Amino acid sequence: MKSFILIAWNLAISLVISLPLFSMASMPIERQSKHLSIGKIDVKPQQIIPFTFEQKISGLALVTKNINSWDSTYLIVHDDTLRLTRDEHDPNNNASNFIVFDRPIQNLVLSVGKLTGEITLILTHIDSTPNPVKLSSERRKSNCALPPIILQENWRNGLPAPQYTRSFSTVNHIIVHHSAGSNQASNYQDVVRNIYIYHTEGRGWSDIGYNYLIAPDGSIFAGRDPEEGLQDEVKGAHFCGKNSNTMGICLLGTFTDISPTPAAITALEQLISWKTTKDHLQPYEEFPHEGLALGVIAGHRDGCSTQCPGNQLYNKINTLKTTVYNQQLACQQDPEEPKEPVNDLLFFPNPVKNGTIFVSNTVEDVLLINAFGNKLFVPTIETKEHLELQVDHLVAGWYVLYIQDTSGINQYKVIII
Ligand SMILES: [Zn+2]
């Protein structure tokens, strides 16, 4: 059967060669390293070009000489059609996104679309990892503990380590990205390995640009290698040339039209809750950043003109801030050392959406003050289960709720929206 397919393929190629719009590529491939090759070819618009590679390829990106439209450029691999789009992370603005195939392939068809002139194919050759590292998603000790991370020494096994001088900076901003790669890949460790080789050897960058990468199954990969330094403070290359004081997190996939998986979002929430708690960052805050008023949690597009991280992921950032805020609150009551369970339903919801704060009726007293420290009049209804604080007359913003119970008086930040 295999040989039949091969014959059929060769026959198909010999047939298409005779048609003017189709041509079999005769492309010298220059081997750059064990893991990367580069080929150049002249193309005309609308050409459809079948390729057979001598050595299997695991990933591919195109670089054009001219700024072209990528509107109708795509690859056909087996039965899949893979769109090529502009790489929003390419400073020269002339590369396609980098496609990692589900497994290494020998044949593909390129539909050139509107590209014209010389194009460069950057090809990676990474063998599939038979047993990718999986980390157990055991419950973290607290809402703000570091989630499990797959380290470079695991995912980079067998690939050369990056050689460059690292810079470090304290983080004021966490920047969310998407990789703009395929949503179909299933071996995420292979995707990260391919991205690493493409960035370092294909584009000549020092290392992966992001501090962390998150896969659709919720696996978190350590990205840029900090050597002896801290993973969350190594200065990356991901944010519009303004990388100081930022930490980059990239979700693998393209989230223009489809949403990230719940597992990826949960991993993102956990990673940001850990980082913001560690650095005493408030998720709703903004700081000046190179002429911008930039949120503590922001999308790539908040820094410069790009679609990244895609509408479907960008639209989740506000909810993400609320979740992180709630996780910070929860871990104030739930420090890393396990202790007696606390009444985590002391009050809810937070943020307050419908004008009522429900407080456990086991508390002895409550007091609400505004940002200026003024005590506020709050009508209270007592039911069997709760005290209901009526706050619908208050404007949206920050408040502090004091709750007195048997443990003493505790204060909580409350957001009314
Ligand atoms: Zn980005």
Alpha-carbon span 52 to 17, nearest angstrom? 13
Residue in 198, 383, 171, 370 with CA at minimum distance from that of residue 280: 171
Whether pLDDT at 66 is above 80: no
CA of 14 to the centre of ligand 1 (A): 42
Whether pLDDT at 333 is above 60: yes
Alpha-carbon span 173 to 175, nearest angstrom? 6
Whether pLDDT at 220 is above 60: yes
Whether pLDDT at 133 is above 60: yes
CA of 284 to the centre of ligand 1 (A): 21
CA of 313 to the centre of ligand 1 (A): 11
CA of 140 to the centre of ligand 1 (A): 28
> pLDDT (tens digit, 9 = 90+) per residue, 385-398?
788 899 998 888 87
CA of 178 to the centre of ligand 1 (A): 6
pLDDT of 185 reads 85
Strand order in the sheet with 117-124: 29-33, 36-43, 117-124, 48-64, 99-111, 74-77, 80-83
Alpha-carbon span 414 to 397, nearest angstrom? 8
CA of 97 to the centre of ligand 1 (A): 12
Q: Which part of the chain is CATH 3.40.80.10?
A: 152-332
Alpha-carbon span 329 to 413, nearest angstrom? 8
For domain 347-416, give the CATH superfamily.
Immunoglobulins (2.60.40.10)
Residue in 277, 355, 265 with CA at minimum distance from that of residue 314: 265
- DSSP class of residue 26 equals -
Whether pLDDT at 318 is above 70: yes
Q: Which pTM does this prediction carry? A: 0.74
Q: Which part of the chain is CATH 2.60.120.10?
A: 2-124
pLDDT of 16 reads 40
Alpha-carbon span 282 to 332, nearest angstrom? 13
CA of 299 to the centre of ligand 1 (A): 8
Alpha-carbon span 302 to 308, nearest angstrom? 9
* Cβ-contact 301, 308 below 8 angstroms: yes
* Cβ-contact 9, 92 below 8 angstroms: no
Computed over every residue of the chain, the mean pLDDT equals 85
CA of 239 to the centre of ligand 1 (A): 7
Confidence of residue 7 (pLDDT cuts 50, 70, 90): very low
Q: How many helices (H) and strands (E) are present in the chain, helices listed first?
A: 6, 21
pLDDT of 334 reads 57
Alpha-carbon span 99 to 163, nearest angstrom? 25
CA of 294 to the centre of ligand 1 (A): 15
CA of 248 to the centre of ligand 1 (A): 8
CA of 304 to the centre of ligand 1 (A): 10
CA of 255 to the centre of ligand 1 (A): 11
- Best CATH choice for the domain 152-332 from the list 3.90.1150.10, 3.30.70.141, 3.40.80.10, 3.40.140.10: 3.40.80.10
CA of 256 to the centre of ligand 1 (A): 12
Average pLDDT of the segment spanning 351-368:
85
> pLDDT (tens digit, 9 = 90+) per residue, 73-87?
999 998 889 999 988
CA of 269 to the centre of ligand 1 (A): 18
Element (H, E) at 103: strand 99-111
* Cβ-contact 79, 109 below 8 angstroms: no
pLDDT of 263 reads 94
Residue in 29, 33, 77 with CA at minimum distance from that of residue 53: 29
Whether pLDDT at 163 is above 50: yes
CA of 93 to the centre of ligand 1 (A): 13
Q: CATH topology for 2-124? A: Jelly Rolls (2.60.120)
CA of 115 to the centre of ligand 1 (A): 24
CA of 88 to the centre of ligand 1 (A): 7
Q: Which part of the chain is CATH 2.60.40.10?
A: 347-416
Whether pLDDT at 10 is above 80: no
CA of 234 to the centre of ligand 1 (A): 17
| E strand residue ranges, 211-285 | 212-214, 220-222, 246-251
Long-range CB pairs of 383-389, under 8 A, 24+ apart, other chains included: 385/361, 386/358, 386/359, 386/360, 386/361, 387/358, 387/359, 387/360, 387/361, 387/363, 388/356, 388/357, 388/358, 388/359, 389/356, 389/357, 389/358, 389/359
**Residue 206 zone, left/alpha/beta (φ > 0; ψ -120 to 50; rest):** alpha
Residue in 55, 65, 75, 77 with CA at minimum distance from that of residue 126: 55
> What is the three-class DSSP state of 40?
strand
> pLDDT (tens digit, 9 = 90+) per residue, 40-61?
999 999 999 999 998 999 999 9
| E strand residue ranges, 346-385 | 347-348, 356-360, 365-370, 380-382
